[in-house]
Structure 1
Amino acid sequence: MKLLWTGLLILTLLVLSACGQDSSNNAKIVEGKVNVVTTFYPVYAFTTAIGGEDANVINLLPTGVEPHDWTPKSQDIVNTSKAQLFLYNGAGLEGWVPNFLKSLNSDTQVKSVAVSEGVKLLTAEGDDGHGHGEEHEDEHEDEHADEHTDEAASEDVADHHIDPHTWVSPKSAMIMAENIKNSLVEADPDHKAGYEQRYEELRTKLETLDQRFTDELANVPNNEIVVSHQAFGYLARDYGLTQHAIMGLSPDAEPTGQDIVKLAKLVKDEGIKYIFFEELVSDKLAKTLASEAGVETMVLNPVEGLTKEQATNGDDYFTLMEKNLQNLLIALK
């Protein structure tokens, strides 16, 4: 019996350990380095690229988790309270940020920065079902966020449907990268040269990606895309595309049967060949519309996070955006 209980105890500990590894990146604060907490993958990817060996970057969102469905845990509060920088997208993406900042230790020295500052923000055609933009006004009211919120966004505070998907366009990503670099330099001026050098390398890659999107999409005969939710507004604006979203067609974001019929008619009328879906959310609506319209489905990735398979394969922002470009070229030819 004692052996049985011992075996069960070990098994339980292994299961709990595995669950912990699956739900958290288990990152720790490192003494002697600038510690940066980021909210989700794109901000983390740009920060690690610029920070290099000089920064310890902790990403809150676990691999394989869609950011709209996630909320921070107690350990996230502990880590952020001890960090020097807290970098989040802003523009209403992380609706939990205002309360999160209020919950940090009273003696925290962390500086919070909305890295989408300076991006000319878009408004969405109503709620997309994830609460995007609904907490935008609260961000501006919060004492921690006031110093760092987006001036361009402040003009749209009254509109609760800001499109937060800034990073999906390389043009906006360049602005975000510069904000991240400036934040690192301010927090850790001793390593300014390294941050500047790595930022220039990242910017060159983003400029190359931007030019590829510009050149390649300028030659496609069609420019209409149908996507599962309104994640591609900045991409569409910057590269001459028109986005039609299944989610967000009606105010409560759940499309009615009539919405699907109307969109299916648009697909047929415009000769659209593919309905795009995302890997981290259900493809049910995209497949329903594709079936109704008699077309196929294809992935268009909003790069909100990596799947576990993508992480294992070494995918990153650039490989995923390159795949997006290739899929767009197939769909729009």
Structure 2
Amino acid sequence: MRYQRYGIAAIMALVIMTTVLTGCGSGKQSKLVEGKTNVVTSFYPLYFLAQQIGGDQANVINLIPAGVEPHDWSPKSQDLETASNAQLFLYNGAGFEGWTDDFLEGLRKDSKLVTKEGSEGIKLIEADGTDEHEHEDHDGKDAGGHHDPHTWVSPKSMKIMAANVLAGLSSVDPEHQAEYEANYKQLESKLTALDDEYTAKLGAAPKKDIVVSHNAFGYLARDYGLRQVSIMGLSPDAEPKAQDLLKIAKFVKENGVKYIFFEELVSDELARTLAREADAETLVLNPVEGLTPDQEKNGDDYFSLMNANLQNLLQALQ
């Protein structure tokens, strides 16, 4: 069969040579603002939620700048100083940020920073043994059976994260709780509409299999009845094994998969090579870890990226 004759050695070389360019964040480094609730976030989805819910009363600072891989980022002394003077720190948890334990221990002794875990209350997915990537949870211990941390890629999970952000803001600034709740209700309504659209349209799609470059869509697949097959592991720089690539090529052919998804912020060479050899095409499926500079200029946000994801999913699942 043709999938057994394609250039696995060449593909493995691509894996090793690929430079991961995953960006994360708003692309802007903010400063503390007196008279507002200063919120520090660990990456873009929480930055977006905090801005939407915090509104005029919150000054939101995203730690990870654009162009930096969030799985491997580590804070600097300036980040510690900023957080030490802020009121609220929002992080995803579920093993996404391996640096939080040391970070919080490094805060100034007189810091009154309150922490809130965005993924709290979400039923976490245990990572498949073949896709395990070493993550740690927020207390520095191994994250159980290696959890999939990519909670925000499902609108259902994002609704729970929004409620956690509301709780965090209300706890540090109860004076403006009513305003936060009003902002939250507007956001929650939009997330519910997005969830409903995903449920209806993906539920009606004739196919359910998605082949992706990075194992970041487990929650989306679980919540909307899809099956995810990934080239990479939970981290976009995890290296697949040659036998795994052969299995994926076989899966693509045997299941009539027409598209292999890649990410805009990560090299697409591996996905494109696999697609070529398996007679498939490629499409973007964005894990929404951050915005590109062009997306920022265009005014893109979580909703526009997730709407684009839905359209590409529907095209691939026909």
Q: Which TM-score applies when normalising by structure 1? A: 0.84
Match 1:158 to one of 113, 136, 144: 144
Which residue of 1 is the match for residue 127 of structure 2?
124
Alpha-carbon offset, residue 73 of structure 1: 2.0
Match 1:276 to one of 261, 280, 291: 261
Alpha-carbon offset, residue 129 of structure 1: 7.6
Measure the CA separation in 2 of the matches of 1:306 and 1:56: 19
Which residue of 2 is the match for residue 19 of structure 1?
none
Measure the CA separation in 2 of the matches of 1:234 and 1:277: 17
Measure the CA separation in 1 of the matches of 2:31 and 2:131: 35
Aligned residues: 292
Structure 1 residue 97 corresponds to structure 2 residue 100: yes
Q: Unpaired segments of 5 or more residues in structure 1? A: 1-21, 143-155
Structure 1 residue 135 corresponds to structure 2 residue 120: no
Structure 1 residue 63 corresponds to structure 2 residue 49: no
Match 1:80 to one of 72, 78, 83: 83
Measure the CA separation in 2 of the matches of 1:36 and 1:257: 44
What amino acid is the match of 2:139?
H
Superimposed CA distance per residue, residues 11-51 of structure 1 (whole angstroms, 9 cap, x where no aligned partner): xxxxxxxxxxx997331111111110001000000110000
Structure-to-structure mapping, 1:1-333, within 5 angstroms: 25-126=28-129, 128=131, 131=134, 134-136=135-137, 139-140=138-139, 157-159=143-145, 161-248=146-233, 253-333=238-318
Measure the CA separation in 1 of the matches of 2:79 and 2:28: 10
Q: Give secondary structure in 1 for the equivalent of 2:60.
A: strand
Q: Give secondary structure in 2 for the equivalent of 1:35.
A: strand
Measure the CA separation in 2 of the matches of 1:44 and 1:127: 31
Alpha-carbon offset, residue 208 of structure 1: 0.3
What amino acid is the match of 1:281?
V
Measure the CA separation in 2 of the matches of 1:214 and 1:23: 29
Tell me, yes or no, if the aligned pair for 2:133 and 2:233 is still in contact at 8 Å: no
What amino acid is the match of 1:100?
F
Structure 1 pair 121–194 and aligned structure 2 pair: CA distance change class (3 A): same
Which one has a larger percent helix, Structure 1 or Structure 2? 1
Tell me, yes or no, if the aligned pair for 2:89 and 2:115 is still in contact at 8 Å: yes
Q: Unpaired segments of 5 or more residues in structure 2? A: 1-24
Tell me, yes or no, if the aligned pair for 2:131 and 2:232 is still in contact at 8 Å: yes
Structure 1 pair 320–268 and aligned structure 2 pair: CA distance change class (3 A): same
Alpha-carbon offset, residue 71 of structure 1: 1.9
Max Rg structure: 1
Which runs of 4 or more aligned residues in structure 1 lie more than 3 Å from their structure 2 counterparts after TM superposition?
Answer: 126-131
Tell me, yes or no, if the aligned pair for 2:94 and 2:143 is still in contact at 8 Å: no
Measure the CA separation in 2 of the matches of 1:264 and 1:116: 34
Alpha-carbon RMSD: 2.0
Tell me, yes or no, if the aligned pair for 2:53 and 2:166 is still in contact at 8 Å: yes
Q: Which TM-score applies when normalising by structure 2? A: 0.87
Residue identity over aligned pairs, in percent, reads: 60
Measure the CA separation in 1 of the matches of 2:100 and 2:201: 37
Measure the CA separation in 2 of the matches of 1:207 and 1:114: 21
Tell me, yes or no, if the aligned pair for 1:125 and 1:248 is still in contact at 8 Å: no
